[in-house]
Amino acid sequence: MSKQSGFTILALTLGLVLTNAALAQSSTTDAELKRMQGHWRITEMVENGYVVPENQMRTSLPGGGLVEIIDYTLLFKSPVTGVKSTKQFRLDPSVYPKQIAILERDTVTGLGIYQFDQGKLVICVANPKSETPTDFTAHSNSGRSLMVLESFSVDESDHSKFQLPLPPRTTTARLPTSTANIDIVEVNNPATNAAPTIIVNQAATPASAVAANVAGRILTDAEVRTMLVGNWRMNDGQGLLDITLAANGTFSSFRHNEAINTFHTVFMATPISSGSWRVQNGQLFMHVNSSYRADRVNTTAVFAVRSISATDALLVDTLGRVAKVIKLP
């Protein structure tokens, strides 16, 4: 046998081995992907050492903790607006532990590992600034999110089965009957676990809003409305809530819970409610058109705007509770 023939045979053999390996890996990936297809519900979650309660998962995760996997796409359906949002992913089952990458428009937003355990899908992901997990843990300051997902079937002819259970109903606030004067209290930037400061006295008859740091100048409704347009953040007792007041008179709110920030970084934030807003007699009226809570749809929240500046505002609700909201860049 000539030397050239030997090289040719070696090259063909090597090429065949590599081709078979690639086919085997592709077959394994296809099998893994097939197991992931369908509807899943996050039943357990640990974020940076914090065990996320079930009710918080329902209000703070996209889709309320429900996700549908179609091919290489994660599909979240907003329980507020019904709008569907997606993220892509890719798998590498050839390594141990098996790896998964979460992407948005070809940009990696999270790297992690996964495994199937007694029919459940276990995923541990880290934000891009943290190291890729090598075990299924999410201890404090790890930058990881550990989730256990269970599959469930959905009868497409009965869409109600895909709806989230309603959170416990709360008493609807009523307009105060008392006209006692309200005590205005300066509220520092809210802590992540603090509830809005409670004012004992009931809110008085609506007073005109005052421009902060402008010698107490009274503002017109038009001026207040112009200053309110933008992105705001407040603490509502459940965590940080981001509210966008658009110039066209619509609003949307998103939960920004710092306890599960890694998940939001890797995947996406969750809408809480949306609707319309207006300013009248120094008061902010926010009418809810859609919400993850059915009992809040078609209700109107009213806040007296006591003071407002380019960086913050002081709002008082109809029960006399006051909180300082911060305007975001």
| DSSP per position, 225-293 | HHHH-EEEEEE-SSSEEEEEE-TTSEEEEEEE-GGGHHHHHHS--EEEEEEEEEEETTEEEEEEEEESS
Closest CA to 80 of 260, 269, 310, 312: 269
Query: What is the model's pLDDT at position 190?
Result: 34
Angle at 163 between CA 159 and CA 168, to 5 degrees: 150
Which region among 33-37, 126-130, 179-183, 289-293 has the lowest average model confidence (pLDDT)? 179-183
Query: What is the model's pLDDT at position 241?
Result: 84
**Which value, in Å, is the radius of gyration of the alpha carbons in the chain?**
26
- In 3-state terms, what secondary structure has residue 74? strand
**Who's near 47: CB < 8 A, 6+ residues apart?**
138, 144, 145, 146, 259, 260, 261, 262, 263
Where residue 180 falls among pLDDT bands split at 50, 70, 90?
very low
Burial of 261 (0-12, 13-18, 19+ CB in 10 A): middle
Per DSSP, helices labelled H in 122-168 are none
Which region among 70-79, 105-114, 194-203, 278-287 has the lowest average model confidence (pLDDT)? 194-203
Cβ-contact 113, 124 below 8 angstroms: yes
How do residues 242-268 score in pLDDT, each as one tens digit?
Answer: 899 999 999 998 876 778 889 988 998
Q: Record the pTM.
A: 0.60
Query: What is the model's pLDDT at position 209?
Result: 66
Q: Report whether pLDDT(29) > 90.
A: yes
Q: Mean per-residue pLDDT for 301-324? A: 92
Cis? peptide before 62, omega within 30° of 0: no
Q: Mean per-residue pLDDT for 82-98? A: 92
How do residues 181-207 score in pLDDT, each as one tens digit?
Answer: 323 233 333 333 333 322 222 334 455
Query: What is the model's pLDDT at position 13?
Result: 53
Query: What is the model's pLDDT at position 283?
Result: 95
Alpha carbon distances (Å) from 127 to 141, 214, 261, 317 = 12, 43, 9, 37
Domains in the chain, CATH or no CATH each: 30-153 (2.40.128), 210-327 (2.40.128.280)
Query: What is the model's pLDDT at position 1?
Result: 58
